[in-house]
Amino acid sequence: MLEDIFQSSTSVSLLVTVVGLLAFHNFYSSFSSQEKRREPPGPTCLPLLGNLLQVDLKRLDSSLFDLSKKYGPVFTVHLGLQKVVVLAGYKTVKQALVNHAEEFGDRDITPIFYDVHKGHGLLFSNGDSWKEMRRFAIATLKDFGMGKRITEEKIIDECHYLIEVFEQHEGKAFDNTQAISFASSNIVAAIVFGKRFEYKDPVLRTMLKKDHETIHLLGSPSILMYNMFPWLGPFLQNWKRLIENVRENEEDIKRIVADLKETLNPEMHRCYVDVFLTRKMNLEESESKDSHYHVENLVTSVTSLFAAGTDTSANTLQWCLLFMAKYPHIQDQVQEELSRVVGSRQVRVEDRKNLPYTDAVIHESQRLANVTPLSIPHKTSRDVTFQGYFIKAGTTVFPLLTSVLYDESMWESPHTFNPSHFLDKEGKFIRREAFMAFSAGRRMCIGESLAKMELFLFFTSLLQHFRFTPPPGVTEEELDLAPSVGFTLTPLPHELCAVRRH
Ligand code: HEM
């Protein structure tokens, strides 16, 4: 394990010495503070490694879910020197994020997130800058049609390109990862840059390849170790690689921003970047002090939108198709409903209300896929007493979405693919309060309506055109639903056939 993490054996003895000293301090202070106030319970923590031996860093969310069954819905774990309060189960996560939105609403900016975004932008920022950037992003995404007809048209156009790529494989097995992430990132690109990239565009290809790798690295055991012991950075190959990827992507984004700046017309905005640049110029002219509209916030916000908006939507769609190939009788029912209600014309957003089964299948795919299992870590903004436990300001908090989407008290069959979770007795679509794939409260996902529109239009258009099956020689039972674990949960590398229906 250690060699796996360090890729260098000389670093191990250094690690043991320094950790020993730091751990003694950590053990002592956590022990003495627990005596003073009633803190959330948790497994006994070893001086050297905290609870690292009791959790599986390769599947942290499942380990924490198991621990919640023993220690309750609010409990403490020590990941090395880092103390984390875990919130588990629908009721507790909702109570914290919604009813105590302020106290649980800060982002935990771990060392790796600080390296990546330096506290700027939307995702890994706090305070006034985050507030302003989030307000700006929500308003601007709305102006550029998030959830409106204009975005619907863009997604429908992109469906045609995606279908074309799938058709080129002529029903033979292929890995759809790349095509789906091109399509999904083009929707964000349309809003942010006002342009779409050809799927063979080298800039798009390299950016996505690096993003994909970065997201995977972010969930790797060595980066989790780095967050606990940041001085390890220079010894870790994965850390160096990750920082390099991020910087190179920033350079690409800066080049696109510079091109947009050259042709900027403040009277006619083409995209998110245009609105930001105009706001920045106006504030500079009025000599406004302490403006948050600077280049770092622009580049980091754009990076955040791509990072948060591309991989999540793309791999949810991949999960949807994998579930269809795995459960052909469910695919039959989706295709029967689509043929009966829509026929062969283009599906539109307004069709959704007449496609309850299809809608339920998409929601159930998202629930079971559980793409952001730990949400994105939060931090308490002030001291809080929650469910009778004292939690200090600045404590890292994991709202464990796995435990909400698989909550046994909220779902009839939490671990199986069951579209009836979202259907009433008459077969009408029903919303479920424990469907919290986009989290809740102050830091809730700002791209929810865009993601839902994308998923619905991409999924239905693909299912209208293709039948999804396992590759020849592979049975449905053999299709593996185990996830590949990174910052998000993606399907393991796999191939499917997309067989033309008409
Ligand atoms: C299926 C697709 C998606 C899923 C499952 C998803 C899920 C999430 C989750 C769980 C969070 C963390 C919320 C929290 O900290 O409590 C989040 C945050 C965020 N999401 Fe999404 N998301 C999706 C798509 C998108 C899209 C399409 C965009 C933008 C175009 C987007 C932009 C963001 C941003 C900017 C944040 C950070 C919000 C903040 O920290 O204030 N997401 N998302």
Secondary structure (DSSP) of 424-470: -TTS-B---TT--TT--GGG--S-HHHHHHHHHHHHHHHHHHEEEEP
Q: What is the mean pLDDT of the chain?
A: 90
Residue 253 in contact with residue 303, Cβ under 8 Å?
A: yes
Ligand 1 nearest atom to the CA of residue 440, by list position: 16
Asked whether residue 92 carries a pLDDT value surpassing 80, the answer given is yes
Mean local confidence (pLDDT), 428-453: 96
> Which pLDDT tens digit goes with each residue over 148-183?
778 899 999 999 999 999 999 999 999 999 999 999
Q: Is the pLDDT of residue 9 over 50?
A: no
> Rounded CA gap, 491 and 502, in Å?
28
Of 192, 246, 184, 185, nearest in space to 214 by CA: 246
The residue that leads in pLDDT, 13 or 89, is 89
Which residue ranges have their beta carbon within 6 Å of ligand 1? 107, 122-123, 134, 188, 304-305, 308-309, 312-313, 316, 371-372, 375-376, 437-439, 443-447, 450-451
Q: Which atom of ligand 1 is nearest to the CA of 316?
A: 1
Candidates 106, 138, 303, 438: which one to mutate for ligand 1, based on the most atoms within 8 Å of Cβ?
438
CATH number at residue 139: 1.10.630.10
For residues 255-283, one letter each, b for 16 or more C-beta atoms within 10 angstroms of the residue's C-beta and e for the rest, the string is ebbeebeeebeeeebebbbbbbbbbbeeb
Instruction: Provide the pLDDT for residue 142.
Output: 87
CA dist., res. 317 & res. 336, Å (int): 20
Reduced to 3 DSSP states, what percent helix, strand and coil does the chain have, rounded to the nearest 5?
55, 10, 35
Nearest-CA residue for ligand 1 atom 20 is 445
- The answer to whether the CB of 111 falls within 8 A of the CB of 226 is yes
Residue 355 has pLDDT above 50, yes or no: yes
Q: Which pLDDT belongs to residue 289?
A: 66
- At 176-224, the pLDDT tens digits run 999 999 999 999 999 999 989 999 999 888 888 888 888 888 878 888 8
Q: Which residue(s) pair with 489 in the sheet?
A: 485
The structure tokens listed for 70 are 């023993």
Atom of ligand 1 nearest to the CA of 455: 1
- CA 300 to ligand 1 centroid distance, Å: 15
Q: What is the pLDDT of residue 36?
A: 61
CA–CA separation, 296 and 117 (whole Å): 9
Query: How many angstroms does the Cα of residue 168 sit away from the middle of ligand 1?
Result: 32
Q: Give the bridge partners for 86, in sequence order.
A: 75, 398
pLDDT at 282 over 60: yes
List pLDDT tens digits, range 234-276: 889 999 999 999 999 899 899 999 999 999 998 888 899 999 9
For residues 189-214, b (16+ Cβ closer than 10 Å) or e, as one string?
bbbbbeebbebeeeebeebbebbbeb
- Say which range, 53-57, 427-431, 466-470, has the weakest mean pLDDT: 53-57
Print the SS3 string covering 39-50: CCCCCCCECCCE
**Percent of the chain whose pLDDT exceeds 70:** 92
Give the residues across from 74 on adjacent strands: 87
Q: How far is CA 389 from the centre of its chain?
A: 29
Chain segment 377-416, per-residue pLDDT in tens: 999 999 999 999 999 999 999 999 999 999 999 999 999 9
Residue 333 has pLDDT above 90, yes or no: yes
pLDDT at 208 (0 to 100):
86
CA angle 354, 358, 363 (to 5 degrees): 115
Atom 3 (ligand 1) nearest CA: 312
For residue 74, what pLDDT is reported? 98
Strand 396-399 to strand 82-87: parallel, antiparallel, or no bridges (unpaired)?
Answer: parallel
308 C-alpha to ligand 1 centroid (Å): 5
Domain that holds residue 401: 2-500
Q: Residue 93 burial (CB < 10 Å; 0-12/13-18/19+)?
A: buried
Question: What's the number of domains the chain is made of?
Answer: 1
Residue nearest to atom 40 of ligand 1 (CA): 123
How much is the pLDDT for 15?
A: 44
Helical (H) or strand (E) element with 86:
strand 82-87
| Assigned token pair, 120 | 């700027």
Contacts of 159 (CB under 8 A, 6+ apart): 183, 346, 457, 458, 461, 462
Residue 147 pLDDT exceeds 70:
no
Residue 463 token pair: 């299912």
Least confident residue range of 2-6, 293-297, 394-398, 416-420 = 2-6
Q: Provide the strand spans (E) within 90-238.
A: 106-107
Ligand 1: distance of its center to the CA of 14 in Å?
38
Q: How many Å lie between the centroid of ligand 1 and the Cα of residue 192?
A: 16
pLDDT classification of 62: cutoffs 50, 70, 90? very high
